[in-house]
Chain A
Amino acid sequence: MAFAAGLLFVGLYCLLTMKNVIKLFIGIEVISKGVTLALLATGFVKKNTLLAQSLVITFIVVEVSLVATALAIIINIYKHTKSLDIRKLTKLRG
Protein backbone atom coordinates (compact mmCIF):
# COMPACT_ATOMS: atom_id res chain seq x y z
CA MET A 1 0.00 0.00 0.00
CA ALA A 2 2.93 2.32 0.72
CA PHE A 3 4.18 1.80 -2.84
CA ALA A 4 0.71 2.64 -4.22
CA ALA A 5 0.78 5.87 -2.20
CA GLY A 6 4.24 6.56 -3.65
CA LEU A 7 2.88 6.19 -7.18
CA LEU A 8 0.02 8.57 -6.33
CA PHE A 9 2.56 11.11 -5.07
CA VAL A 10 4.70 10.81 -8.23
CA GLY A 11 1.63 11.34 -10.43
CA LEU A 12 0.35 14.28 -8.39
CA TYR A 13 3.81 15.92 -8.44
CA CYS A 14 3.79 15.62 -12.24
CA LEU A 15 0.29 17.12 -12.47
CA LEU A 16 1.21 20.04 -10.23
CA THR A 17 4.56 20.97 -11.79
CA MET A 18 4.75 19.99 -15.48
CA LYS A 19 3.61 22.07 -18.46
CA ASN A 20 3.65 19.59 -21.35
CA VAL A 21 0.15 18.17 -21.95
CA ILE A 22 1.45 14.67 -22.79
CA LYS A 23 3.59 14.70 -19.61
CA LEU A 24 0.51 15.67 -17.60
CA PHE A 25 -1.35 12.75 -19.07
CA ILE A 26 1.55 10.41 -18.24
CA GLY A 27 1.12 11.68 -14.65
CA ILE A 28 -2.55 10.64 -14.74
CA GLU A 29 -1.47 7.20 -16.01
CA VAL A 30 0.98 6.85 -13.09
CA ILE A 31 -1.83 7.73 -10.64
CA SER A 32 -4.05 5.10 -12.27
CA LYS A 33 -1.28 2.52 -11.77
CA GLY A 34 -1.22 3.38 -8.08
CA VAL A 35 -5.00 2.96 -7.83
CA THR A 36 -4.87 -0.41 -9.64
CA LEU A 37 -2.11 -1.63 -7.34
CA ALA A 38 -4.05 -0.51 -4.24
CA LEU A 39 -7.21 -2.29 -5.46
CA LEU A 40 -5.48 -5.57 -6.09
CA ALA A 41 -3.31 -5.42 -2.96
CA THR A 42 -6.44 -4.95 -0.84
CA GLY A 43 -8.09 -7.92 -2.54
CA PHE A 44 -4.95 -10.03 -2.04
CA VAL A 45 -4.73 -9.21 1.69
CA LYS A 46 -8.47 -9.83 2.24
CA LYS A 47 -8.35 -13.02 0.10
CA ASN A 48 -10.86 -11.53 -2.36
CA THR A 49 -8.58 -11.73 -5.39
CA LEU A 50 -11.34 -12.70 -7.84
CA LEU A 51 -13.49 -9.67 -7.03
CA ALA A 52 -10.45 -7.35 -7.04
CA GLN A 53 -9.41 -8.74 -10.43
CA SER A 54 -12.83 -8.06 -11.95
CA LEU A 55 -12.71 -4.49 -10.61
CA VAL A 56 -9.18 -4.00 -11.98
CA ILE A 57 -10.25 -5.26 -15.42
CA THR A 58 -13.22 -2.83 -15.39
CA PHE A 59 -10.82 -0.04 -14.41
CA ILE A 60 -8.39 -0.92 -17.23
CA VAL A 61 -11.20 -0.87 -19.83
CA VAL A 62 -12.37 2.54 -18.59
CA GLU A 63 -8.73 3.72 -18.65
CA VAL A 64 -8.28 2.71 -22.30
CA SER A 65 -11.40 4.64 -23.28
CA LEU A 66 -10.14 7.65 -21.32
CA VAL A 67 -6.68 7.47 -22.93
CA ALA A 68 -8.10 7.27 -26.47
CA THR A 69 -10.36 10.28 -25.91
CA ALA A 70 -7.72 12.34 -24.09
CA LEU A 71 -5.04 11.72 -26.72
CA ALA A 72 -7.51 12.71 -29.46
CA ILE A 73 -8.15 15.95 -27.54
CA ILE A 74 -4.37 16.50 -27.20
CA ILE A 75 -3.91 16.12 -30.98
CA ASN A 76 -6.71 18.66 -31.52
CA ILE A 77 -5.07 21.03 -29.02
CA TYR A 78 -1.80 20.72 -30.96
CA LYS A 79 -3.58 21.46 -34.25
CA HIS A 80 -5.20 24.50 -32.69
CA THR A 81 -2.28 26.04 -30.78
CA LYS A 82 0.76 24.43 -32.57
CA SER A 83 2.15 23.70 -29.15
CA LEU A 84 1.79 21.23 -26.29
CA ASP A 85 2.11 23.93 -23.62
CA ILE A 86 -0.82 23.77 -21.21
CA ARG A 87 -0.47 27.52 -20.43
CA LYS A 88 -1.45 28.44 -23.99
CA LEU A 89 -4.90 26.98 -23.37
CA THR A 90 -5.67 29.83 -20.99
CA LYS A 91 -5.83 32.13 -24.03
CA LEU A 92 -8.67 30.23 -25.68
CA ARG A 93 -11.86 32.21 -26.32
CA GLY A 94 -15.40 31.08 -27.09
Chain B
Amino acid sequence: MIWQILLLSGLVLFSVLAILSKDLIKSAISLAVASLLLGIIFFRMSAPYAGVFEISVVAGLITVLFMLTIALTKAEGDVRESRVVKLAFPLFFVIFILIDVLVMKSLLQKIPALPETVEKGTFGDVLWKQRTFDLVGQLAVILAGVFSVLALFRKRDKDE
Protein backbone atom coordinates (compact mmCIF):
# COMPACT_ATOMS: atom_id res chain seq x y z
CA MET B 1 0.00 0.00 0.00
CA ILE B 2 2.82 2.42 0.89
CA TRP B 3 4.61 1.59 -2.37
CA GLN B 4 1.38 2.17 -4.29
CA ILE B 5 0.90 5.62 -2.71
CA LEU B 6 4.56 6.47 -3.34
CA LEU B 7 4.24 5.45 -7.00
CA LEU B 8 1.01 7.45 -7.42
CA SER B 9 2.59 10.50 -5.75
CA GLY B 10 5.59 10.16 -8.06
CA LEU B 11 3.23 10.01 -11.04
CA VAL B 12 1.53 13.28 -10.03
CA LEU B 13 4.90 14.88 -9.20
CA PHE B 14 6.45 14.07 -12.58
CA SER B 15 3.28 15.22 -14.37
CA VAL B 16 3.55 18.56 -12.53
CA LEU B 17 7.25 18.75 -13.51
CA ALA B 18 6.26 18.05 -17.12
CA ILE B 19 3.97 21.07 -17.29
CA LEU B 20 6.04 23.48 -15.15
CA SER B 21 9.49 22.77 -16.58
CA LYS B 22 10.90 25.59 -18.72
CA ASP B 23 12.84 23.30 -21.06
CA LEU B 24 10.64 21.31 -23.46
CA ILE B 25 13.07 18.36 -23.54
CA LYS B 26 12.89 18.11 -19.74
CA SER B 27 9.10 18.26 -19.97
CA ALA B 28 9.04 15.36 -22.45
CA ILE B 29 11.40 13.29 -20.27
CA SER B 30 9.28 13.98 -17.16
CA LEU B 31 6.22 12.83 -19.09
CA ALA B 32 8.06 9.63 -20.05
CA VAL B 33 9.01 8.97 -16.40
CA ALA B 34 5.37 9.55 -15.40
CA SER B 35 4.30 6.98 -18.03
CA LEU B 36 6.88 4.53 -16.70
CA LEU B 37 5.52 4.93 -13.16
CA LEU B 38 1.95 4.48 -14.46
CA GLY B 39 3.08 1.27 -16.20
CA ILE B 40 4.55 -0.04 -12.93
CA ILE B 41 1.26 0.85 -11.16
CA PHE B 42 -0.61 -1.16 -13.82
CA PHE B 43 1.65 -4.15 -13.20
CA ARG B 44 0.97 -3.90 -9.46
CA MET B 45 -2.80 -3.74 -10.17
CA SER B 46 -2.43 -7.14 -11.90
CA ALA B 47 -2.89 -5.64 -15.38
CA PRO B 48 0.33 -6.70 -17.18
CA TYR B 49 -0.92 -6.16 -20.75
CA ALA B 50 -1.94 -2.57 -20.06
CA GLY B 51 1.41 -2.04 -18.28
CA VAL B 52 3.39 -3.34 -21.26
CA PHE B 53 1.42 -1.08 -23.64
CA GLU B 54 1.84 1.94 -21.35
CA ILE B 55 5.61 1.48 -21.01
CA SER B 56 6.41 0.51 -24.60
CA VAL B 57 3.99 2.73 -26.50
CA VAL B 58 3.38 5.78 -24.29
CA ALA B 59 6.76 5.99 -22.50
CA GLY B 60 8.66 4.91 -25.62
CA LEU B 61 7.00 5.81 -28.89
CA ILE B 62 5.16 8.98 -27.83
CA THR B 63 8.30 10.35 -26.11
CA VAL B 64 10.28 9.78 -29.32
CA LEU B 65 7.56 11.62 -31.29
CA PHE B 66 7.70 14.52 -28.81
CA MET B 67 11.52 14.68 -29.05
CA LEU B 68 11.31 14.70 -32.84
CA THR B 69 8.80 17.53 -32.83
CA ILE B 70 10.85 19.56 -30.36
CA ALA B 71 13.97 19.02 -32.49
CA LEU B 72 12.14 19.97 -35.70
CA THR B 73 10.62 23.14 -34.29
CA LYS B 74 13.75 24.35 -32.41
CA ALA B 75 11.83 27.11 -30.72
CA GLU B 76 13.05 26.81 -27.15
CA GLY B 77 12.53 30.04 -25.27
CA ASP B 78 10.45 31.38 -28.10
CA VAL B 79 7.28 31.41 -26.05
CA ARG B 80 7.74 32.75 -22.55
CA GLU B 81 5.24 31.45 -20.04
CA SER B 82 4.10 33.90 -17.41
CA ARG B 83 5.85 33.56 -14.03
CA VAL B 84 2.53 34.12 -12.26
CA VAL B 85 1.30 30.81 -13.71
CA LYS B 86 4.13 28.89 -12.06
CA LEU B 87 3.89 30.79 -8.77
CA ALA B 88 0.13 30.40 -8.51
CA PHE B 89 0.16 26.66 -9.28
CA PRO B 90 0.94 25.38 -5.73
CA LEU B 91 -1.87 27.51 -4.28
CA PHE B 92 -4.47 26.23 -6.76
CA PHE B 93 -3.16 22.67 -6.37
CA VAL B 94 -3.52 22.71 -2.58
CA ILE B 95 -7.05 24.15 -2.88
CA PHE B 96 -7.92 21.44 -5.40
CA ILE B 97 -6.52 18.65 -3.18
CA LEU B 98 -8.61 19.91 -0.23
CA ILE B 99 -11.78 19.98 -2.36
CA ASP B 100 -10.86 16.59 -3.87
CA VAL B 101 -10.43 14.91 -0.47
CA LEU B 102 -13.65 16.44 0.92
CA VAL B 103 -15.73 15.48 -2.14
CA MET B 104 -14.27 11.96 -2.29
CA LYS B 105 -14.95 11.42 1.42
CA SER B 106 -18.54 12.60 1.24
CA LEU B 107 -19.53 11.08 -2.11
CA LEU B 108 -17.68 7.79 -2.25
CA GLN B 109 -20.16 5.81 -0.14
CA LYS B 110 -23.28 7.50 -1.56
CA ILE B 111 -22.86 6.93 -5.30
CA PRO B 112 -24.49 3.62 -6.25
CA ALA B 113 -21.94 1.37 -7.91
CA LEU B 114 -22.46 -1.47 -10.35
CA PRO B 115 -22.48 -4.90 -8.74
CA GLU B 116 -19.26 -6.87 -8.83
CA THR B 117 -19.17 -9.63 -11.44
CA VAL B 118 -16.59 -12.37 -11.56
CA GLU B 119 -14.77 -12.45 -14.89
CA LYS B 120 -14.36 -15.70 -16.72
CA GLY B 121 -11.83 -16.67 -19.38
CA THR B 122 -8.52 -15.12 -20.32
CA PHE B 123 -7.51 -11.65 -21.48
CA GLY B 124 -7.54 -12.91 -25.07
CA ASP B 125 -11.16 -14.03 -24.73
CA VAL B 126 -12.22 -10.61 -23.44
CA LEU B 127 -10.24 -8.68 -26.06
CA TRP B 128 -11.02 -10.77 -29.16
CA LYS B 129 -14.54 -12.01 -28.38
CA GLN B 130 -16.15 -9.55 -25.95
CA ARG B 131 -14.64 -6.32 -27.32
CA THR B 132 -14.50 -7.19 -31.03
CA PHE B 133 -16.07 -3.89 -32.05
CA ASP B 134 -13.31 -1.98 -30.21
CA LEU B 135 -10.70 -3.73 -32.35
CA VAL B 136 -12.48 -2.67 -35.55
CA GLY B 137 -12.56 0.88 -34.15
CA GLN B 138 -8.83 0.69 -33.36
CA LEU B 139 -8.06 -0.32 -36.93
CA ALA B 140 -10.16 2.57 -38.25
CA VAL B 141 -8.42 5.04 -35.92
CA ILE B 142 -4.93 3.83 -36.90
CA LEU B 143 -5.82 4.13 -40.60
CA ALA B 144 -7.28 7.60 -40.04
CA GLY B 145 -4.09 8.63 -38.20
CA VAL B 146 -1.82 7.34 -40.97
CA PHE B 147 -3.82 9.08 -43.71
CA SER B 148 -4.02 12.35 -41.77
CA VAL B 149 -0.23 12.41 -41.20
CA LEU B 150 0.30 11.65 -44.91
CA ALA B 151 -2.09 14.45 -45.85
CA LEU B 152 -0.38 16.92 -43.49
CA PHE B 153 3.11 16.25 -44.89
CA ARG B 154 2.07 16.16 -48.55
CA LYS B 155 4.51 18.04 -50.77
CA ARG B 156 3.41 20.44 -53.47
CA ASP B 157 3.69 19.34 -57.07
CA LYS B 158 6.12 21.28 -59.28
CA ASP B 159 3.41 22.61 -61.58
CA GLU B 160 1.33 24.05 -58.68
Contacts and interface: CB of A to CB of B under 8 A. Distances in A.
Interface residues of B, number: 74
A30 B78 contact: no
Contacts of B153: 72
B12 A26 contact: no
Contacts of A23: 19, 24, 27, 81
B66 A7 contact: no
Contact of B116 (A26, A47, A72): A47
Contacts of A90: none
B119 A18 contact: no
The secondary-structure label for the interface of chain B is helix
A64 B57 contact: yes
B130 interface: yes
Interface in A48-71: 48-58, 60-69, 71
B85 interface: yes
Contacts of A76: 152
B118 interface: yes
Contacts of B127: 54, 57
B79 A83 contact: yes
A74 B127 CA distance: 34
A74 B47 contact: no
A83 B142 contact: no
A44 to B, nearest CB: 5
Interface in B68-105: 68-70, 72-73, 75, 78-79, 81-82, 85, 89, 92-93, 96-97, 100-101, 104
Interface of A: 1-3, 5-7, 9-11, 13-14, 17-20, 22-23, 26-27, 29-30, 33, 36-37, 40-41, 43-44, 46-58, 60-69, 71-76, 78, 83-85
Interface of B: 8-9, 11-12, 15-16, 18-19, 24, 27-28, 31, 34-35, 38, 41-42, 45-47, 49-50, 53-54, 57-58, 61-62, 65-66, 68-70, 72-73, 75, 78-79, 81-82, 85, 89, 92-93, 96-97, 100-101, 104, 113-114, 116-119, 121-123, 126-127, 130-131, 134-135, 137-138, 141-142, 144-145, 148-149, 152-153
